[in-house]
């Protein structure tokens, strides 16, 4: 916790203009499993609020955006928190944006550079666990660009490893593809229809209704109007294997 203190005290890049604006803390973890099991990372990100206060922002002028917990940073779509952050920067409300590291903010260069461009235009600082950067300064912009590129490359390498591991399982005949709702795999590997009568009935009804009306939207309206809930067996996260 103290490793950042010296970097975040009386920093020369912070001006009175920055203090007139808000400090935003962006908190993100990639999956529901990480949110549930990796509490230390989450707590460390929340502690960035203390960094903002050490720098001179009052508690009332520090905002935490944590609505993207459990969402991948590979793209901005579906990340309402990141979109909110971009909006605050573009409105000139943000004096500084804190993220534990660049990969917390974005793992996609298009999203990352979009944020940097806006931060440069509106004079918003970016802070991570290594220091504070002003995107208007050439050296800072260069370093932030390199960090973004490395973050995106890291995600690519992670995907490569996952794909390689999956292919090794395929070659060994040990790979088990995730089944759609309505099917279950027995311990011996045999795939069967879900033994839950209600699950089977709703799925059969859905296909029958689609054949009748010819539109997924009309099927959804039919289910909604009749109060019929469509089942889903959660495959991962805290509710894994539960019927939702």
Marked catalytic residue, from 3, 5, 10, 30:
30
Total residue length of the chain: 244
- What domains are there in the chain, each with its CATH number? 2-156 (3.40.50.1390), 177-244 (no CATH)
Average pLDDT (218-240) is: 84
Percent of the chain with pLDDT over 70: 92
Percent of the chain with pLDDT over 90: 44
Cα dist from 47 to 44, 73, 85, 119, whole Å: 5, 20, 18, 23
- Per-residue model confidence as pLDDT tens digits over 117-160: 999 999 999 998 888 999 999 999 999 888 888 777 776 777 78
Average pLDDT (71-93) is: 86
Q: Is 30 a catalytic residue?
A: yes
**Does the structure show a pLDDT above 50 at 24?**
yes
**Does the structure show a pLDDT above 50 at 1?**
no
Alpha carbon distance 69, 79 (integer Å): 9
User: What letter would DSSP give residue 243?
Assistant: B
Alpha carbon distance 5, 72 (integer Å): 29
- Per-residue model confidence as pLDDT tens digits over 165-187: 888 888 888 788 888 888 988 88
| Strand segments (E) across 3-140 | 22-26, 62-65, 94-98, 125-128, 131-133
Cα dist from 57 to 18, 19, 61, 119, 137, whole Å: 9, 7, 6, 18, 23
Structure confidence at residue 7 (pLDDT) = 46
Regarding predicted confidence, which is higher, 174 or 62?
62
At 5, the pLDDT band (50, 70, 90 cuts) reads: very low
User: Does the model's pTM come out above 0.85?
Assistant: no
Phi then psi for residue 176, to 5 deg, are -120, 110
Contacts of 116 (CB under 8 A, 6+ apart): 126, 135, 141, 144, 145, 148
């Amino acid at each position: 916790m103290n490793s950042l203190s010296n970097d975040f005290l009386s920093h020369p890049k912070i001006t009175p203009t920055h203090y007139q604006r808000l400090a935003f803390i962006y908190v993100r973890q990639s999956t529901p499993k990480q949110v549930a099991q990796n509490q230390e990372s989450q707590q460390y990100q929340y502690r960035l609020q203390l960094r903002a206060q050490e720098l001179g922002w009052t508690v009332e002028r520090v905002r935490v955006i944590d609505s993207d917990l459990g969402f991948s940073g590979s793209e901005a779509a579906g990340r309402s928190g990141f979109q909110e952050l971009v909006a605050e920067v573009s409105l000139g409300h943000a004096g500084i944006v804190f993220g534990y590291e660049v990969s917390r903010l974005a793992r996609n260069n298009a999203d990352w550079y979009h944020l940097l461009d806006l931060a440069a235009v509106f004079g918003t600082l970016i802070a991570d666990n290594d220091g504070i950067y002003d995107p208007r300064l050439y050296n800072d912009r260069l370093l932030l660009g390199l960090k973004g590129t490395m973050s995106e490359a890291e995600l690519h390498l992670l995907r490569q490893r996952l794909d390689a591991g999956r292919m090794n399982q395929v070659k060994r005949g040990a790979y088990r593809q995730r089944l759609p709702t309505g099917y279950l795999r027995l311990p011996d590997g045999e795939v069967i229809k879900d033994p839950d009568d209600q699950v089977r009935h709703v799925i059969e009804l859905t296909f029958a209704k689609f054949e009748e009306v010819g539109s997924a939207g009309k099927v959804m309206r039919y289910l909604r109007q009749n109060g019929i809930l469509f089942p889903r067996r959660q495959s991962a996260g805290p509710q894994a294997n539960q019927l939702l």
